[in-house]
Amino acid sequence: MRETFSTLIQTSRDFCVDDKTSTQSGLSDTLTFIKREINRTVQFCHKKLESVHKTLALPKTMATVDTYQYYSYPPGINVIDTVTIDNDTIIPPLTIIQNQREWDLLNSGPAVSGIPSHIYMRARDFGLYPIPGDAYTLTLTGRYYPKNMTALDYTTGTVTVAQNSQTVTGDSTTFTSSMIGRYFTPTDNLGVSNGEFYKIGAYSSALVITLETYFEETSLAGATYLIGESPEIPEELHELIPYRVAGVYYGTRRRDGKKGQEYMNYFYTGDYGNNRRTGRIEGGLLGFIQNYAMKGSDNSQIIDMNQPVRHNWLAEEWNEVT
């Protein structure tokens, strides 16, 4: 089930059994510690899933500047996979230069300007060759780390939304443009989601937002709801996030390595004792990765049922104690 930032915080606090919110000897308060580790865990899972699950960001666009060769990465992308140019003609994706020597050879002749055909990625920026001779629109796809979640669930007022509609109309609400990209879901009288989660695609006013997809459930009128940030990793992994948070918490703040390792074991394998060290791992992050690798949900979409992924219990991930 999909979790929001607020529900992950609450579950993590329940696991850590420490709701102190004042600093001690210069340490971060517990709530700040938990929020930080939730975001770090989401990014950690995202990185681990790159080889077995679709993790490509939506394409980013940017414009070149006449005579400028180097450009910073657009926010949200740290590795570029493909670059295309839109100038009303058919131009193949730019060729990626793999090393500094090849790039230096390409640029060793007289300066050339025109429509770029090659790209070279560096740590914080990338270069184009030939040097752009005009303002061209680039479309980039690549890998990214999810943005940190910061907003708690918003539940003010009530909403009305019709089945098969994308428009959500609020009563006593104060919707904002910052809610674009968050998730909307109807809730019961305890504030718990009792339906599907719908991503918010547009903001019109403090009383009107638009969903990216059609509302498929029974029409609502004057209903309670929540709008929240949610991890951009598969929903099956959401419930595992607090276990890693608790593992880090007990291994560092509480100086309890044994309890910290138990939580880490559950995060990785779904087993506190980590007793299943042979054969197929059924639970946890590693079980999820193994299952996805076998069923073809990776970035290549190649299904190979004859190549199961197995994890050696001596591998690095078994030893993560903080």
Considering the domain architecture, whether residues 133 and 152 belong to the same structural domain is answered as no
- Residue 86 has a pLDDT of 80
- Residue 302 has a pLDDT of 42
Burial of 106 (0-12, 13-18, 19+ CB in 10 A): middle
Considering the domain architecture, whether residues 78 and 188 belong to the same structural domain is answered as no
5 within 8 A of 38, measured Cβ to Cβ: yes
Q: Is residue 243 part of a domain?
A: no
Give per-residue pLDDT as tens, 162-201: 999 999 999 999 999 999 999 999 999 888 898 899 999 9
Confidence of residue 322 (pLDDT cuts 50, 70, 90): very low
Q: Is residue 284 part of a domain?
A: yes
Q: What share of the chain is helix, strand, coil (3-state, %, to 5)?
A: 25, 25, 50
Q: Name the residue range of residue 21's domain.
A: 5-50+148-235
Alpha-carbon distance 142 to 79, whole Å?
A: 5
Alpha-carbon distance 83 to 65, whole Å?
A: 16
pLDDT > 90 fraction of the chain, expressed in percent and rounded: 57
Considering the domain architecture, whether residues 107 and 181 belong to the same structural domain is answered as no
- Least confident window among 53-57, 70-74, 231-235: 53-57
Considering the domain architecture, whether residues 176 and 136 belong to the same structural domain is answered as no
Average pLDDT over residues 22-41: 82
- Residue 320 has a pLDDT of 52
CA 120 to the chain's CA centroid: 26
Considering the domain architecture, whether residues 199 and 130 belong to the same structural domain is answered as no
Q: Is residue 242 part of a domain?
A: no
Cis amide linkage into residue 234, ω under 30° from 0? no
Alpha-carbon distance 288 to 280, whole Å?
A: 11
Alpha-carbon distance 30 to 20, whole Å?
A: 6
The tokens of 270 are what? 């779904």
- Residue 21 has a pLDDT of 58
Most confident of 14-18, 70-74, 260-264, 272-276: 260-264
Q: Is residue 182 part of a domain?
A: yes
- Residue 38 has a pLDDT of 96
For residues 320 and 198, the model is more confident at 198
Alpha-carbon distance 35 to 120, whole Å?
A: 36
Name which of 65, 80, 131 is nearest 103 in CA terms: 131
Element (H, E) at 125: strand 125-129
| Number of alpha helices (DSSP H) and beta strands (DSSP E) in the chain | 6, 16
- Residue 201 has a pLDDT of 95
Region of residue 223 (phi > 0: left; psi between -120 and 50: alpha; otherwise: beta): beta
Q: Is residue 55 part of a domain?
A: no
pLDDT of 250 > 50? The answer is yes
pLDDT of 303 > 60? The answer is no
Considering the domain architecture, whether residues 231 and 152 belong to the same structural domain is answered as yes
Q: In what order do the strands lie in the sheet with 70-72?
A: 70-72, 125-129, 118-121, 95-97
Domain boundary among 143, 173, 207: 143
Residue 128 to residues 75, 92, 93, 94, Cα–Cα distance (Å): 18, 14, 12, 9
pLDDT > 70 fraction of the chain, expressed in percent and rounded: 84
Considering the domain architecture, whether residues 37 and 164 belong to the same structural domain is answered as yes
Q: Is residue 241 part of a domain?
A: no
Which residues are within 8 A (CB) of 112 and not within 5 positions of it... i.e. 6 or more apart?
129, 130, 131
Domain boundary among 127, 143, 159: 143
Is residue 202 helix, strand or coil?
A: strand
Region of residue 212 (phi > 0: left; psi between -120 and 50: alpha; otherwise: beta): alpha
Which residues are within 8 A (CB) of 285 and not within 5 positions of it... i.e. 6 or more apart?
45, 48, 237, 240, 267, 268
CA 274 to the chain's CA centroid: 27
The tokens of 318 are what? 């078994």
Q: Is residue 247 part of a domain?
A: no
Considering the domain architecture, whether residues 154 and 227 belong to the same structural domain is answered as yes
Give per-residue pLDDT as tens, 286-295: 988 888 777 6
Mean pLDDT score of the chain: 86
Region of residue 248 (phi > 0: left; psi between -120 and 50: alpha; otherwise: beta): alpha
- Residue 315 has a pLDDT of 52
Considering the domain architecture, whether residues 163 and 120 belong to the same structural domain is answered as no
Which residues are within 8 A (CB) of 300 and not within 5 positions of it... i.e. 6 or more apart?
none
Domain boundary among 125, 143, 161: 143
Tell me how far apart the terminal alpha carbons of the chain are, to the nearest angstrom: 28
The tokens of 223 are what? 């209903």
- Residue 51 has a pLDDT of 76
Q: How many domains does the chain have?
A: 3
Average pLDDT over residues 240-267: 94
Considering the domain architecture, whether residues 165 and 213 belong to the same structural domain is answered as yes
Q: Is residue 246 part of a domain?
A: no
Average pLDDT over residues 299-308: 46
Helices (H), the chain: 5-16, 30-48, 100-106, 241-252, 257-269, 284-295
Considering the domain architecture, whether residues 111 and 170 belong to the same structural domain is answered as no
Considering the domain architecture, whether residues 44 and 152 belong to the same structural domain is answered as yes
